[in-house]
Amino acid sequence: MLQILLVVHLLIAIAMVVTILLQRSEGGALGIGGGGGGGGGGMGLFSARGTANALSRSTAILAICFFATSIGLALLANTGRGESGSILDAPTAETPALPAEPTEPSVPLSQ
């Protein structure tokens, strides 16, 4: 279940990046689509105003889905551990003591 939700989360993230890049920016310098202002003065779906409304709504829907999958992934990751509490509550392992230094060298230095 975690892997499926993670794939859906990544697809939503990619779709959200694409829809944000398709929107026309306020300065008119950054957006990929929506430039030119052509297409007549009607209020149809493919006019400048209709496209902006559709992209804004789709971005909002994708953002809501992104947050929902983020919360779902966090809940699944938390319940998958099987234990509750903080990692700081776990007992620490004792570090082993260093071995005593030998009194004589193990390799002869010179003869």
DSSP 54-103: HHHHHHHHHHHHHHHHHHHHHHHHHHTT---S-GGGSPPPPPPPPPPPPS
Q: Looking at the domain assignment, is residue 106 inside a domain?
A: no
Structural domain harbouring 12? 1-23+44-80
Q: Looking at the domain assignment, is residue 36 inside a domain?
A: no
The count of structural domains within the chain is 1
Q: Looking at the domain assignment, is residue 4 inside a domain?
A: yes
pLDDT string in tens for the chain (111-residue length): 889 999 999 999 999 999 999 887 765 555 555 555 544 445 555 666 666 788 889 999 999 999 999 999 999 888 766 556 666 776 777 766 666 666 666 676 676
User: What is the pTM assigned to this prediction?
Assistant: 0.55
